[in-house]
């Protein structure tokens, strides 16, 4: 969902022990993009709302939660580049069930593409597909 409004960074000082509940509630607010909890009972979040609307957002989302203080800063620029760790992405092959960590083959059958580990699995899945197509046509 695309949210309208400027991007703001909000820092909340909350009562000790309530930071987890505050972060959980903020995570459910559609205008809130990222929520971060720190070890000192501070909750920081990025939202798309006018600065003057943050008070209403906090009142609606956090009724009953203890917010001691908050600051709102208008964001001029933001960069977020998530990265994968050292682990490699692998796909489980559909024919033999082996993990695909390197180059394999892909087979286009109908409107789907299937990843297979080798040419023999590509031939097997193509044969299975053809047999099912023939059976369905009968």
Residue 97 confidence class, pLDDT cut points 50, 70, 90: low
- Which is higher by pLDDT, 91 or 12? 12
Any idea what the CATH number is for the domain that residue 70 is in?
Answer: 3.30.70.920
Closest CA to 91 of 102, 99, 83, 103: 99
115 within a domain of the structure (yes/no): yes
Do residues 61 and 47 touch, judged by C-beta distance below 8 A?
no
Q: Which domain holds residue 115?
A: 91-137
36 and 64 housed in the same domain: yes
101 and 64 housed in the same domain: no
Residue 2 confidence class, pLDDT cut points 50, 70, 90: very low
Do residues 43 and 16 touch, judged by C-beta distance below 8 A?
no
- 24-33, Cβ contacts within 8 angstroms, sequence gap of 24 or more: 25/61, 25/62, 25/65, 26/61, 26/62, 28/61, 29/57, 29/60, 29/61, 30/1, 30/3, 31/3, 31/5, 31/57, 32/57, 32/61, 33/3, 33/7
98: left (phi over 0), alpha (psi -120 to 50) or beta: beta
The mean pLDDT value for 13-17 works out to 87
The radius of gyration of the chain from alpha carbons, rounded to an integer in Å, stands at 25
CA pair distance 19, 61, nearest whole angstrom: 13
120 within a domain of the structure (yes/no): yes
Do residues 98 and 117 touch, judged by C-beta distance below 8 A?
yes
The mean pLDDT value for 48-56 works out to 84
pTM of the model: 0.57
Residue whose tokens read 């209403």 = 56
CA pair distance 110, 107, nearest whole angstrom: 10
- Among the residue ranges 42-51, 57-66, 101-110, 111-120, the one predicted with the least confidence is 101-110
The mean pLDDT value for 17-21 works out to 89
Question: How much is the pLDDT for 43?
Answer: 94
12 and 37 housed in the same domain: yes
Question: Is a pLDDT exceeding 70 seen at residue 95?
Answer: no
């Amino acid at each position: 969902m695309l949210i309208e409004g400027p991007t703001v960074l909000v820092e909340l000082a909350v009562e000790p022990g309530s930071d987890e509940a505050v972060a959980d509630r903020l995570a459910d607010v559609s205008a809130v993009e990222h929520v971060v909890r720190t070890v000192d009972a501070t909750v920081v979040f990025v939202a798309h709302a006018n600065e003057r609307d943050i008070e209403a957002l906090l009142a609606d989302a956090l009724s009953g939660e203890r917010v001691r203080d908050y600051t709102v800063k208008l964001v001029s620029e933001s960069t977020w580049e998530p990265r994968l760790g050292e682990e490699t992405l692998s796909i489980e092959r559909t024919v033999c069930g082996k993990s695909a960590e390197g180059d394999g083959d892909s087979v286009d059958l109908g409107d789907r593409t299937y990843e297979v580990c080798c040419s023999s699995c590509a031939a097997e899945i193509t044969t299975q597909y053809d047999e099912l197509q023939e059976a369905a046509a009968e």
